[in-house]
A = this chain, B = another copy of it.
Amino acid sequence: MFGAVIHAPGDVRYEQRPDPEIVEPTDAVVRTVAACVCGSDLWRYRGLAPVPRPVPIGHEFCGVVEAVGDAVTVVKPGDFVVGGFNPSDNVCPVCRKGATANCINGDHYAGCQAEKIRVPQAEGTLVATPGMPDDDLIPSLLALSDVMCTGWHAAVSAGVGPDTTVAVVGDGAVGLCAVLAAVQLGAPTVIAMSRHESRQQLAREFGATHVVAERDDAGIAAVRELTNGIGADCVLECVGTEQARLQATGCVRDGGNIGMVGLPHGDLPMIDLFWRNVGVKGGPAHCRTYLPDLMEKVLARTINPGLVFDLELPLAEIGEAYAAMDERRAIKSLVRP
Docked Cα-Cα span, A254 to B230, in Å, equals 32
Q: Flag if B274 contacts A263 (CB, 8 Å).
A: yes
Which residues on B sit within 8 Å (CB–CB) of A267? 267-270
Q: Does A324 belong to the interface (CB within 8 Å)?
A: no
A94-B230, A229-B93 known; A282 vs B286 contact (CB < 8 Å): no
Which residues on B sit within 8 Å (CB–CB) of A256? 97, 99
Within the complex, the shortest CB–CB distance from A218 to chain B, in Å, comes to 21
Q: Does A295 belong to the interface (CB within 8 Å)?
A: no
Docked Cα-Cα span, A284 to B94, in Å, equals 31
The A90-105 residues at the B interface (CB cut-off 8 A) are 93-94, 97-99, 101-102, 104
Q: Flag if A274 contacts B286 (CB, 8 Å).
A: no
Mostly, the A contact residues are mixed
Of B98, B255, B279, the contact of A98 (CB 8 Å cutoff): B255
Q: Does A278 belong to the interface (CB within 8 Å)?
A: yes
A interface residue count range (under 10 / 10 to 19 / 20 to 34 / 35 or more)? 35 or more
Docked Cα-Cα span, A278 to B275, in Å, equals 20
A262 nearest in chain B by CB position: B274
Q: Flag if A102 contacts B279 (CB, 8 Å).
A: no
Q: Does A264 belong to the interface (CB within 8 Å)?
A: yes
A153 nearest in chain B by CB position: B277
Q: Does A7 belong to the interface (CB within 8 Å)?
A: no
Which residues on B sit within 8 Å (CB–CB) of A273? 280, 283
Q: Does A301 belong to the interface (CB within 8 Å)?
A: no
Q: Flag if A260 contacts B274 (CB, 8 Å).
A: yes
A94-B254, A230-B93 known; A274 vs B282 contact (CB < 8 Å): yes
Interface string of A220-240 (1 = CB under 8 A from B): 000000001110010000000
* Interface CB pairs A-B, < 8 A, 5: A97-B256, A255-B286, A264-B271, A264-B274, A275-B283
Q: List 8 other contacts, CB 8 Å, given A94-B254, A99-B277, A279-B280.
A: A97-B256, A98-B255, A99-B255, A102-B276, A102-B277, A260-B274, A264-B270, A274-B283
